[in-house]
Structures are given as structure tokens and as C-alpha cells.
Structure 1
Amino acid sequence: MPCREHLTQLREVEAELDALDVAVAIVTFDAGPMAEAYVAQTGIRWPLLVDGERELYRAYGMLRGRAWDLYGPPTIWTYIKLLARGRRLQKTGSDVTQLGGDVLIDPAGAVRLHHVGRGPADRPSVQELLAVVRGRSG
């Protein structure tokens, strides 16, 4: 659910991302029906890249989390806040131990932000991402 919430927040600033000429791509390790359901549920229009072997995840240091990372206080607090705002828990058939993150790569191929999540709720804010993009945009 935190990953979907992060995408929802990004979608809320989609027009600004477009104005800043940002190309967004989403990477998942789920293929087939799981990936299709994800697109349908989130309404994303950005490319969804399937990394079934998790090569990109490993290359960026996004490995599997430990129990404390996955179910510790930051994650529990995030779920409480999301549920209080009316979000619903979604059953997932995917590997909940796989950590995610955010990577911003500029047009020249230089990595401008590399954030490896320490748990499901550990993501940079949309404002942090926009600040990095604006910095490179001038």
C-alpha cells in the first residue's frame, strides 16, 4: 500500500513533472496479471518495466528487507495514517520482502538521486523529488 500511495502522490503532480520534462518509469518484479492489475488499480500511464529477475533492483542495492524493516514502527505508523485517510488494505500476491526505492537519472545518464527504501514506507517525498529535478532544471 505505501508503494501505491507513493505513485498516487506522483500522479498528483503529473502535470508539473510533464512541465519539467521528467520521464517517469516504474519498475516491478511482478509480471503478467499482477502487473496488469497494478496498472488498472493505480491508473498509472507511465511505462511499467518488469524486472522479473530483479537485476535492476540488485544493481541499485534494493534487496530484501528484514522483519524489523518490513513490520517495524515506521511501517505500522504509515499504514495507520493511510487507513485513517480511508485507504484500504490490498492483498498482494507478490514478495512483500522486496525493498523498493527511487532513482532519478538526468538526461545525460547521471544519477541525481538514489534512495533505497529501508522498509515499505521509506520513500522520499514528492517535494524532495521535485527539488532534485528543479535543481537540474535550473
Structure 2
Amino acid sequence: MAEDVAVSEDTLIHSLTLLVNWSKVLLKEAKKDAEGSLEDFVPHKISTLFGLITAGADFYKSLGVKKLSEAEALWQKSYQHAGVREQVEELLQLETEWDSFLEDVDRGLQTTDRQLSGKQTVDRLSPDTELTDARSGKSVTLGQYLDHVAELEESQALLDARSVKVLVVSFGGLEGAKLWMEQTGCAYDMLLDPQRKIYRSFGLGSSYAKVMKFRCLLQYSGYGAVGIDFPDVPPRLMEDLYQMGGDFLLDGTGKVLLSHPSKNPHDRPNVDKILQAVMLGKL
């Protein structure tokens, strides 16, 4: 816990300075690359910004913490120190510039995390919606899975008690999905929606600003700080990293009981909210 970590103000200033300087270099390089063509920048060069994940992991390790909230707790304790305060304020200003740049990219490419379908989001999915089973590769319909539905490993017993089951839906290809399941140990049923019919039904678009948001990438840094590796997916299997997702609860007929489009890749409804929607759906 952050309250158990003690670092000197000199160490804190040094670590903050390194993070700020490294982040500035990444942002400056990205802005320069984007000056030509955004259409060329996004698929080939925007990944430069993912370097913030490594920078953040090194920052956490230097302070002996595991995540951003713990680092924040440390600098808040020393915020009265002029040197610490100066670096924190510079970091916060950089965060604003970083996020603003990505919002400009979204606007420039007319990317949206709102609706791709051009119509209101649905309140029911057809059981006849055709998908692909990621484990068998066979064509299936959503209706074959609607007697099970919903989310989360740690609370699986609570979900089981309410006849709620997780169903993972991805827009990726079969080979990539199998590799992902193998590397993550995912035990849930997984269906593939390469035409993104379900994504469009729920109005889920893409957003560079939300996927690569400054704080979002620093949250990923926490994995590196504790030695957890990301799935190692070959470039040829990499799909759309900027597709937004969400969590949706359906009853046995396909009626939507809970709709939670994610505001960022970490945004998920808690189990209490899911169970509450289950109970209301049975009234």
C-alpha cells in the first residue's frame, strides 16, 4: 500500500521529472508524425504513444508503488515542497495536452465512440444474430447462448446463483481469438462478430482519445510494475485496438436488461449493478 511506502522528496522529484520528460518526448514525436497525414499516422505511428506504458512502469518501480493512485498518494504528501509541486503541475498540464491531441485525432478522422449505425441503440438483440464460436470455429446463433448470460470471475458464484453467465464477444478473427484465450486462460464462451453487427447495434465505435488517454495508459503501467505481461499477439493478428467495448446483460429472449458502453477500456459495471439488473428483469 502507498501509505507504507516512504521516498525522499529528491527521489520523488527525480522520478516525476523523468516521467514528464519521457512523456514530452513521446507526445512531441507523435505530434510531428501527425502533421503530414492522419490517415498515415494512425495505422503506422500512433503506437509511439504506447511508450508511456513503459515510462509509467519505470516510474512506479522507482517509487516502490504498483499503480497511479499510490503514486498520487505519495506526491500529495509532499505537495507542499516547491520542487514536487512544480513537477506534479507539469505532469498534469502534460496530461491535458496529451488528451487534447488525441481528441484532435478523433475529430480529424471523424472517429466516434458514439454510434456507427446511424440509428438509436437497440433494446433487444435477435436470437437469429449469426456469430462464430471462437473455440470450435463453427457458425452459431446468439439464441443458442441466451439461456446463459453476463460477467466476472471473482464473483462467479454470485452470478451462477442467479443463472447468469459470461459470454465474451469479439470482432477479431478466429486465429487471434484462440491465441488470446490460450494466453489469458479465458474459460468463458467466446463468440466472434467480425462484421460488428452487435457492436453497431449498441452504438459502439472507435476512439483513439479514450483508448490512449494519458491516465488510461498509466493504469496499464501497473501491469509492468508488478511483472505481468500483456498477451503476446503477432502484428499480423492485431485487429482494431481502438474499438470501444461494453458490458450488456440480456435475458433469454434477447431483451437488453443492462447497457453499459465503456467510457474507457477499464470501465466496467460492478457485480452489484449486474445483479440488480437481473432482479429487475425478473419482476
TM-score, scaled to structure 2: 0.41
Q: For 1:42-121, what aligned pairs fall within 5 Å after superposition?
A: 42-65=184-207, 67-84=208-225, 86-92=227-233, 93-121=238-266
Rounded Cα–Cα distance in structure 2 between residues aligned with 1:116 and 1:24: 16
Cα deviation, residue 90, structure 1 = 3.3
Stretches of structure 2 lacking an aligned partner (at least 5 in a row): 1-150
Instruction: Show CA shifts across 1:72-116 (max 9, x none).
Output: 144134324444455323345221111000001123432111111
SS across alignment from 1:10:
coil
* Paired position in structure 2 for 1:126: 271
* Paired position in structure 2 for 1:4: none
Cα deviation, residue 10, structure 1 = 0.9
Stretches of structure 1 lacking an aligned partner (at least 5 in a row): 1-8
**Structure possessing the higher relative contact order (Cα contacts under 8 Å, 6 or more residues apart):** 1
1:100/1:117 contact within 8 Å kept: yes
Give the aligned residue type for 1:95.
D
Pick closer, same or farther for the CA change 1:31–1:62 going to 2, 3 Å: same
Structure 1 vs Structure 2: percent identity of aligned residues?
32
Cα deviation, residue 134, structure 1 = 4.2
Cα deviation, residue 47, structure 1 = 1.7
Max Rg structure: 2
Give the aligned residue type for 2:198.
L
Rounded Cα–Cα distance in structure 2 between residues aligned with 1:83 and 1:128: 30
1:74/1:121 contact within 8 Å kept: no
SS across alignment from 1:64:
coil
Give the aligned residue type for 1:68.
A
Pick closer, same or farther for the CA change 1:132–1:30 going to 2, 3 Å: same
Among 11, 27, 33, which residue is 2:169 paired with? 27
Provide the aligned length of Structure 1 versus Structure 2: 129
Rounded Cα–Cα distance in structure 2 between residues aligned with 1:21 and 1:76: 35
Rounded Cα–Cα distance in structure 2 between residues aligned with 1:135 and 1:42: 33
- Structure number with higher helix proportion: 2
